[in-house]
Structure 1
Amino acid sequence: MSTNIDNRFAVVQAALTDELDRQTARLKELTEMNADTGDPGESHTQDALLAATRRSVEQVSGALRRIADGAYGQCEGCAGAIPAERLEVLPHARFCVPCQQKQVG
């Protein structure tokens, strides 16, 4: 059973590492393109893309850190297990659904 869990985490870790590489490359590209065009709308869009990409890099990095620390899949709110279904959809999830709702609300 432990081997199945280890394999599942290895697959998740590989997918998150690939995502981190993609997002880091995107962040680099967006940063290099971040020239002032004089168009406030374009500048706002560029800033939003940079912020979203930075946030994605932080989320994926955090998930990889939690895997390394042995805390992946544990809710940061209640310390309970985050359901596997939630982690499949949102592999960087830090909270179970009830605790996430408390964070937003």
Structure 2
Amino acid sequence: MSVDHRTVDQGWLADLRASLAEDFATQTARLRELTELNADTGDPSEAHNRAALLVATRRNIEQITGALSRISDGTYGACKKCHQNIPAERLEILPHAQFCVSCQAKHNG
């Protein structure tokens, strides 16, 4: 089953938008907390972990923002490469998915 991005259920899309907005708020608060932490314990592994968390949180925010943007412009659910519909199962697992499975595999090389 695929999500036809041209005729997607508006109720489902509204629920998804609300869920993504909530995730965005959570990730933004996490990013703020991570950037405000200035406690240098002198432990290089802690600094490395904090840096990795910052990168992951920023990536999450970018993915959520991208999905919200695609919802707004009506392209959510369409593969950015082949323009075919992304399977609904994939979007349920990865709501920020930009590519169908085949194009994602090619994109990852």
Smaller-chain TM-score bracket: over 0.9
> Within 5 A, what are the aligned runs for 1:1-105?
5-105=9-109
Residue by residue, what CA displacement relative to the aligned partner does 1:12-63 show, whole Å, maximum 9, x if unpaired? 1011000001000001011111443321111100000000000000000000
Q: Distance in 1 between matches of 2:86 and 2:25?
A: 25
The amino acid of 1:65's aligned partner reads S
Which TM-score applies when normalising by structure 2? 0.90
Question: Which SS does the other structure have where 2:9 is aligned?
Answer: helix
The CA RMSD over aligned residues, in Å, is: 1.6
Which TM-score applies when normalising by structure 1? 0.93
Q: Distance in 2 between matches of 1:52 and 1:4?
A: 30
**Higher helix content, 1 or 2:** 1
Query: Which structure has the higher relative contact order (CA within 8 Å, separation 6+)?
Result: 2
Identity of aligned residues (%): 58
Aligned length: 104
Change in 2 beyond 3 A, CA 1:86/1:4: closer
* Structure 2 unaligned residues grouped into runs of 5+: 1-5
